[in-house]
Structure formats: C-alpha cells, structure tokens
Chain A
Amino acid sequence: MPDDIEAVAEQVFAALADPTRRAILAALAARGPATATDLAVNLPITRQAIAKHLALLAEAGLLTAEPGERRRVRYRLQSAPMQVAQQFLAALARDWDSSLGALTDHLDRRA
C-alpha cells in the first residue's frame, strides 16, 4: 500500500475505472466480505477473471484478504483509500463560485 496520498488516489481511480472492479467493490460494500466464488455467483464473469481483479484491488489496498485456505479466502473492503480519493473529489466538488455568486445576489437583493 503506497504511503503517498497521490499514489493512493491514483490507484483508487484506476481501480474504479473498470466496470467489473466497480461491480466487485459494490458487491462487497453491499453484502460484506465474500470469497471469489461467492462473487462469481453474483457477477456475470468467471471466477478466474474475478481472481485477477481481486489481486489488483488488494494490491491497491482497497481489499484485504482474510487468512484461510485458498478457495475459502474472503475479501473485505477497505474504505481508507476511498476516503483519501474522496478528499481529492471534495476539493474538486467544492463550489465556491456558485456560493459566492449566491452571496452577491443575496446582497444585491437586499440593497
């Protein structure tokens, strides 16, 4: 897991750029920890393809694998990297231009 927040954000956005990985993350967020087999049942892709995506997501720190026998390993969502990426999004989404426009209108109306 990278320490530098830029690198964390980059991995999160790269992970989210793929629809299958978004579906895996959404499934883990909605239903909790699951094995690759569980995920393959609920998603329209093979277990092998899921395993590849899970490895990438774990590498990015978005999932942790709970220890267990290979086929029974359960993957759990890690929200911390998402929170880092969210800070980036929060800065982009902060809309001071509209707020200050509204302030100007408010002052003009009361003049």
Chain B
Amino acid sequence: MAFPDRIERTVEVAHPPSKVWAALTTAEGLGAWFGDEAAIDLRPGGSAWMKWNQEGFTAEIRVERVEEPTVFGFTWQIYGLPEDDPRRTYVEFTLEPAGAGTRLTVVETGFAQLPEDAHRKAYGGNAEGWAKELGELVAYLDAG
C-alpha cells in the first residue's frame, strides 16, 4: 500500500544503552538533540512536551512505555493536523546492547489511521464547525 503507516529506522551508536536512554528520556537530553526545549514526566501516562523555537511548534506528548533501559514509547499528534484532532502516532524506541554500544531502533506507526468516529466526526461535523463556533462567540458577546 502506498500510504505509509509505519516508519522504521535503526542506528548503531558507540555509547552504552544507559547513555542513550538518558538522551531519550530526560528533558535535558530531548531538549538538546530533538527539540530546543523539553519537559517530561517519565512514567506511563505521564505528559511531556517538546518545543521547536524556529518553527514555533510545540508537540504535546503522552508517555506510554517506560522499560529502562530498553523500551521507551510515546504518542504525539500528527504534525499539521488541527490541535483538537484525536489522531496520534505512536513512537517506540528500542535499545539493544551491541558490543560496547547500542543498536537503537525507532518505529513510528499510525500515519494511515483513520478511526471510525474521527472519520465520521471530521466529515460530518466540519461543515457546521466554524459557523457554530462563531455563532456561539456572537451569542457570548451579546450576552455580555
């Protein structure tokens, strides 16, 4: 199928899993190589964010898997979709010792997802969306 649902990359780095783990799961690490600034509550269900200053973009993240030092998984929004869009991709980093270093694999899945209700909501609801929002704003301002 042409529509890619999954992206996978593997790199070998000359540093032990513990160092790679720290770069992936701490605000200091994430803010250094991934985004420009980051915060993370490292536990399943914890929230995190990463900010890219140049793009003026902040990614809201939900931590899903924390199995130190082998698996770190999170979900985040699909870049470019509206903020209230429910669709998210899942990113999972897997760390395996490889000699003195680490084989790091990242898999991001969910690009082709289209949950049934989101689909219906998106197609059914958008026609009225802004008209309704603006109507509510007018009503709110009128009431004040």
Contact-residue size bin, chain B (C-beta under 8 Å from the other chain): 35 or more
**Are A78 and B127 interface neighbours, CB within 8 A?**
yes
Q: Evaluate contact between A107 and B19: CB separation under 8 angstroms.
A: yes
Residues of B within 8 Å of A9, CB to CB, are: 3
Chain A: residues with Cβ within 8 Å of the partner, total of 34
Q: Please give me the residue from chain B that is nearest to A64 by CB atom.
A: B127
CA distance A60 to B33 in the complex (A): 41
Within 8 A of A (CB), among B2-33: 2-5, 7, 9, 11, 13-15, 19-20, 23-24, 29, 32-33
Given known A97-B9, A111-B15, contact A83–B79 (CB-CB < 8 A):
no
CB distance from A86 to the nearest CB of B (A): 5
* Nearest CB in chain B to that of A106: its residue: B33
Q: In whole angstroms, how far apart are the Cα atoms of A89 and B3 in the complex?
A: 10
Tell me whether B4 and A92 are in contact (CB under 8 A): yes
* Residues from chain B with Cβ under 8 Å of A110 in the complex: 19
A65 to chain B, nearest CB (A): 11
Instruction: Convert A2-22 into 0s and 1s, putting 1 for each residue whose CB lies closer than 8 angstroms to a CB of B.
Output: 000110010000000000000
- Give bound CA distance, A9 to B111, whole Å: 13
Name the A residues within 8 Å of B99 (CB-CB).
Answer: none
B127 contacts A88, C-beta separation under 8 Å: no
Residue-wise interface mask of A (57-82) relative to B, using a CB-CB cutoff of 8 A (1 in contact, 0 not): 00001001000000000001011100
Expressed in whole angstroms, the minimum distance between the Cβ of A55 and any Cβ of chain B is 18
Residues of B within 8 A of A38 (CB): none
A42 touches B (CB below 8 Å): no
Alpha-carbon distance between A93 and B81 when the two chains are bound, in angstroms: 13
Q: Give me the interface of A with B, judged by CB distance under 8 Å.
A: 1, 5-6, 9, 61, 64, 76, 78-80, 83-84, 86-94, 96-97, 99-100, 102-108, 110-111
